[in-house]
Amino acid sequence: MKNPNNRLHSLSNPPAMTARLMFILAAACGLIVANLYYAQPLVGPISQSAGISPAASGLIVTMTQIGYVIGLLFIVPLSDLLENRRLVSMALGVAAVGLTGAALANGMAMFFAAAVLIGAGSVGAQILVPYAASLAPADQRGRIVGNIMSGLLLGIMLARPAASLTAGLLGWRAVFLLSAVLMGLLIMLLLPMLPKRIPQSRERYPQILLSLWDLLRTKPVLRRRALYQACLFGSFSLFWTVVPLWLSDHFHASQNEIAVFALVGVAGAIAAPIAGRLADKGWTRRLTGLAIVTAALSFALTHAFAGNRILSVIFFCAAAVLLDMAVSGNLVLGQQAIYALGDEIRGRVNGLFMAIFFAGGALGSAVGGWTYAQGGWMLASFAGICFPVLAFLYYLTELPRPSRRSRILPSGEI
């Protein structure tokens, strides 16, 4: 006879987060989320094959991000209701279908439809991250989530050079086809290997969805962290959508040369585990301000030595590293803060957080494509710097205001 308490027991005594399991989750998240970024350095070749105009080229990335937002709002909340391993497998199956469709697409409509499926299925990574957080002790959650996010962010940053190199050798369609095969292999690996996690929630799916608005309304930490990251990710998406076009147009760079440039940004992933450890020590607020200022500074650097070809590229490389560090570090800070809101709502909170900031990314990609077509890098970079400026203005409302008593005390006694 089955023990009716088995379901609760599996959550109250979760398996320990081992180094091996952490590595598997980090690698899986990286491979899954990379699907969202393969198209960024391939905007030119895809546009030519699918007959997409330069002004609409930013939509190649935007459609994937729209699909991701849809998945975050309607698939990720199911992680508070359904057994997580099977939910991840189903999401990866959707991604594999979309990737195959993109590889076979012969027109704009078919590619955009496939891109939406790729985005929706790639939310499997955002089921795995809170899954990992549920296995982590509270005092180590920032460190463990930071390590998992390092794998995820490496996937984001390596996706661009991997796509460029593969496209240079085998054509852009091979990029999507190979990733479809990888998603199938991940399903076969994760389903039997990961510990089972069945949520405790007794709510039904419509109740889960309806609760999203209440969570957004009643959790100010969630709103604030999501809006910070939306602004930073908007600038990030704009930068990486436009820069491959700029390198191709102004320096006649090949796909392989664009790949080398994209590899520079990988250095930014080091910020994730560092941010996680410092967040555990209570440094979240000051590091958030630093991340926002760094993102704005990165766009300003791109205009240094604009008349010198070599120095200009060097400063663009520095800007890429700084921007990636700012976005990856702030992402971990945000997740550490929202995961503390409770295990029973972690899937929904993560889904809302990701949906809001990826909406910012979708806007950044679309704005980037349009502004670059209208005014080149000058106009695009101006639009890019506006995102972190808005974030900083909002950040100023978070800074504590000293009370009347604290203003009259010596600084050492505050």
Q: Is the pLDDT of residue 2 over 80?
A: no
DSSP state of 413: G
Class of CATH domain 20-397? mainly alpha
Please compute the mean of the pLDDT values over residues 331-336 and round it to a whole number: 85
User: What's the pLDDT score for residue 408?
Assistant: 39
Q: Report the candidate in 388, 409, 377, 350 with the shortest Cα–Cα distance to residue 68.
A: 350
Closest alpha carbon to 21 in 184, 124, 136: 136
3-state SS class at 33: helix
In this prediction, residue 16 carries a pLDDT of: 62
Q: Give every CB contact of residue 8 below 8 A, 6+ residues apart in sequence.
A: 200
pLDDT in tens, 155-189: 887 888 899 889 989 999 999 999 999 999 999 99
Question: Is the model more confident about 312 or about 92?
Answer: 92
Mean pLDDT rounded to a whole number for the chain: 83
> H helices within 171-219, ranges in order?
172-193, 205-218
For the cut 70, the answer to whether the pLDDT of residue 313 exceeds it is yes
Instruction: Compute φ and ψ for 295, nearest 5 degrees.
Output: -60, -40
Predicted structure pTM score: 0.74
What's the whole-number mean pLDDT along residues 379-402?
Answer: 89
Task: Summarize pLDDT for 387-396 with one digit per residue, the tens.
Answer: 999 999 999 9
For 13-64, the pLDDT digits (tens) are 555 677 788 889 999 999 999 999 899 888 888 888 877 777 777 788 889 9
pLDDT of residue 402: 55
Length in residues, the chain: 414
Structure confidence by residue, pLDDT tens digits, 263-274: 777 776 677 677
- How far, in Å, are 146, 238, 242, 289, 406 from residue 246 at the CA level? 32, 12, 6, 29, 51
Q: What pLDDT does residue 199 have?
A: 77
> What is the per-residue pLDDT for 378?
93
Check residue 272 and give its pLDDT: 65
The rounded distance, in Å, linking the Cα atoms of 132 and 152 is 13
Could you tell me the two tokens for 55?
A: 């002004």
Across the range 79-99, mean pLDDT stands at 92
CA distance 278 to 284: 7
Band of pLDDT at residue 253, cut at 50, 70 and 90: confident
Mean per-residue pLDDT, 99-125: 93
The per-residue pLDDT for 292 is 95
| CA–CA dist 39, 64 (Å, integer) | 9
User: Looking at residues 369-381, what average pLDDT do you find?
Assistant: 91
